[in-house]
């Protein structure tokens, strides 16, 4: 393992360790939904609480969400005309009363950007579960949290630093990246409804699931990691170095006659391409 890869791996492990308290769900004192309750967290002289906020806002040309320092974002497309924002404010402090006080001081803005405002000192996070019309453009950012999008067709631009990316039945023009986190993409139908997908991660595996008869131009690969594919067209181009050690496993090929460009790549992580029935 070279020095550069060791450094990246150490940063990834450190990020995961730092995320553990923030991802622990908390004792609820607001709302009755599984998204934001049902898990207690206490220990190491800390107690956590959570507060669910729900807001309906008008549909917009571009929905912009900033997850701030800690918190993941999930966006789901539905047959609806407005946008439902569900924000889970999570706080951990020395006492439950202190945690509740901090949580109440966090205000959720739903103007041009959905984000936490009046952010207090202390250990807290805000995660989002947002329901939108199926044809919605998205701009999503997070630092320590994953990004998940399903059943949305639009222009999408998203980025997180420490968190995975999950896409399911999306369409449009889709572009995103993460530094430390895996990528999982599942598509349906016989072709992509839009111009394509361009997603990358530096440290994390890639899983791409496509129907057997899906038509597309696929580009994927890894530098450090394994590679497997259920599609015979997707053969690995190997650069032989260091006495035949295969590195830079890359593939760029058309399947079922070709179509929209589907690019999903990683630097440090395995790649698995699987096929399924429609």
CB-count burial class (<10 Å; 0-12, 13-18, 19+) for 140: buried
Please state, as a whole number, how many other Cβ atoms lie within 10 Å of the Cβ of residue 235: 11
Best CA proximity match to 263, nearest among 193, 190, 201, 191: 201
Q: Give the span between the Cα atoms of 205 and 199, in whole angstroms.
A: 12
- 35 and 83 fall within a common domain: yes
- 72 and 119 fall within a common domain: yes
- 169 and 272 fall within a common domain: yes
Give the model's pLDDT for residue 19: 39
- 39 and 103 fall within a common domain: yes
3 part of a folded domain:
no
Secondary structure element (H or E) that encloses residue 24, with its range: none
Please give the tally of structural domains in the chain: 2
- Highest-scoring range by mean pLDDT, 18-22, 124-128, 168-172, 225-229: 168-172
Count how many Cα atoms sit within 13 Å of the Cα of residue 40 in the half-sphere of its side chain. Answer: 4
Instruction: Render pLDDT for 175-197 as a digit per residue (tens, 0 to 9).
Output: 999 999 999 999 999 999 999 99
- 134 and 192 fall within a common domain: no
Give the model's pLDDT for residue 1: 46
pLDDT band at 3 (very low <50, low <70, confident <90, very high): very low
Instruction: Render pLDDT for 118-158 as a digit per residue (tens, 0 to 9).
Output: 777 778 899 999 999 999 999 999 999 999 999 999 999 99
Instruction: Render pLDDT for 247-259 as a digit per residue (tens, 0 to 9).
Output: 678 999 999 999 9
Residue where one domain finishes, among candidates 140, 155, 179: 140
219 part of a folded domain:
yes
- Rounded to 5 degrees, φ, ψ at 22 are -65, -30
Residues in the chain: 278
Note down the domain range covering 254: 164-278
pLDDT of 241 > 50? The answer is yes
pTM: 0.84
The string of DSSP codes covering 213-260 is: T-BEEEEEEESBS-EEES-TT-PPEEEEETTTEEEEEEEEEEETT--S
């Amino acid at each position: 393992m070279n020095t550069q890869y060791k450094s990246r791996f150490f940063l990834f492990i450190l990020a995961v360790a730092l995320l553990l308290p923030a991802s622990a769900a908390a004792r609820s004192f607001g709302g009755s939904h599984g998204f934001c309750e049902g898990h207690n967290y206490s220990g190491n002289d800390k107690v956590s609480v959570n507060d669910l906020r729900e807001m309906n806002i008008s549909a917009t040309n571009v929905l912009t969400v900033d997850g701030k320092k800690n918190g993941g974002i999930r966006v789901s497309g539905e047959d609806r005309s407005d946008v439902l924002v569900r924000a889970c404010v999570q706080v951990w402090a020395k006492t439950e009363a202190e945690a509740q006080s901090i949580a109440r001081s966090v205000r959720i803005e739903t103007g041009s950007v959905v984000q936490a405002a009046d952010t207090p000192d202390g250990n807290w996070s805000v995660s989002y579960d947002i329901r939108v019309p199926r044809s919605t453009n998205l701009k999503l950012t997070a630092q320590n949290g994953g990004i998940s999008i399903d059943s949305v067709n639009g222009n999408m631009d998203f980025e997180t630093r420490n968190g995975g990316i999950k896409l399911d039945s999306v369409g449009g023009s889709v572009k995103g990246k993460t530094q430390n986190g895996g990528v999982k993409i599942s598509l349906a139908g016989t072709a992509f409804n839009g111009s394509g997908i361009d997603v990358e991660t530096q440290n994390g595996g890639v899983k791409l699931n496509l129907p057997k008869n899906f038509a597309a131009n696929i580009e994927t690969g890894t530098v450090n990691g394994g590679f497997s594919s259920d599609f015979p067209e997707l053969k690995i181009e190997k650069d032989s170095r260091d006495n035949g050690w295969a590195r830079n496993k890359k593939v760029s090929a058309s399947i079922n006659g070709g179509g929209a460009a589907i690019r999903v790549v990683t630097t440090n992580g395995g790649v698995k391409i699987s096929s399924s029935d429609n």
